[in-house]
Amino acid sequence: SGLLPGVEVALVLSNRKEAYGIQRAIQAGVPVVYFPLAPYRKAGRPRTAYDADLAALLEAFRVEWVVLAGWMHVLSNAFLARFPHRVVNLHPALPGAFPGTHAIQRAYQAFRRGEIAHTGVMVHLVPDEGVDAGPVVVQEEVPIFPGDTLEGLEARIHAVEHRLLVQGLRQLLCSAPSPGGPR
């Protein structure tokens, strides 16, 4: 792509049918796969089976790096072992602050209680099953202003996320060779 020279998006995969990334991928002519967890749960299959099948699917598309943006499941070692040091996550908070879901809302509430003055965004590697933890590639603080609404804060954080994700991926994918070359 123009933002990441020499990097090819092999696939956009989502566990949510309504994900905006699916629409954008279709418009860009990038292959798309919807891969929900619910059928595995309904059939009583373990989470590790889902993750192993997910990894096999990505390998079939010759994916070398996995970028999580809006992926709301913690990946198990059944998945992570297949992509060692090649899973990148985007999270709308700074390291150690507000891991897991609803990070922006929780930061906004903490600000309203007078506990924090800023939040942030980080791009980090996912080495294990920890939640929003791992070596940070890039991070940036996002101030919270007294007149902010939750929607306004979300919009500012999303703008930083879009920019920081490209910056972090450029750092990881364009400066160091990956197995078989960047994708």
Q: 136, 124 in Cβ contact below 8 A?
A: yes
Say how many C-beta atoms besides its own lie within 10 A of residue 101's C-beta: 11
91, 102, 118, 124: the catalytic one is: 91
Strands (E) in 19-112, as ranges, are 32-34, 66-68, 87-91
* Distance between CA atoms of residues 180 and 72, nearest Å: 28
Specify the pairing of strand 32-34 against strand 12-14.
parallel
Q: Is 124 a catalytic residue?
A: no
Instruction: Assign 28 to helix, strand or coil.
Output: helix
Q: List, by residue number, the catalytic residues.
A: 91
